[in-house]
Amino acid sequence: MVRLEHVNLVVKDIPPTLTFLLTAFPEWRIRGEGKMTWGSGEHASSRHWLHIGDDDYYLTLNGGAVGEIRDAKGIEPGVAHIGFVVDDLQAVIDRLSAKGFSLDIKGRLHPFRQTVYYMDPAGLQFEFLQYASDKPDEKNMYGGESGELQKRS
């Protein structure tokens, strides 16, 4: 068996991303946290880190980043977004909206899935998907979309 267990992210400031993630996933918790030295020699720095998730999956957030994050709308190399499958997409949208987070992109219409994208305060883009089918040939169907992406201005 192969499964993705975690993704390790580096941000300037942990609390804004932590708040975003706990709003999207109120059942998640901080699994552990601490300080560590990142890098070596003249490039070494002390960083606060934490693991946020459940017993099986988590995101690592490392604070103290220096520089600018990749523009999610650009073509530079790096992570474009991180996608999460959810059981109730509207509940995620409602929780994020209630805390002042704005929808970045609403995906095109698809017969077997709905998608939305949000930018967190650190500039990381997260996709939330809800499938309307458990059948692999339907939920993984490429094509069949209609309409346009609805993007925040």
pLDDT tens by residue, 57-71: 999 999 988 888 888
Q: How far apart are CA 129 and CA 116, in angstroms?
A: 7
107's tokens: 């995906």
83 has which bridge partners?
A: 127
What residue spans of the chain are helical by DSSP H?
14-24, 89-98, 136-139
Please state, in angstroms and as integers, the Cα–Cα distance from residue 77 to each residue in 9, 39, 43, 81, following that order: 15, 22, 23, 12
Strands 103-106 vs 45-53: parallel, antiparallel or unpaired: unpaired
Highest-confidence segment of 39-43, 61-65, 69-73, 143-147 = 61-65
**What local confidence, expressed as pLDDT, does residue 142 receive?**
87
pLDDT value for 153: 60
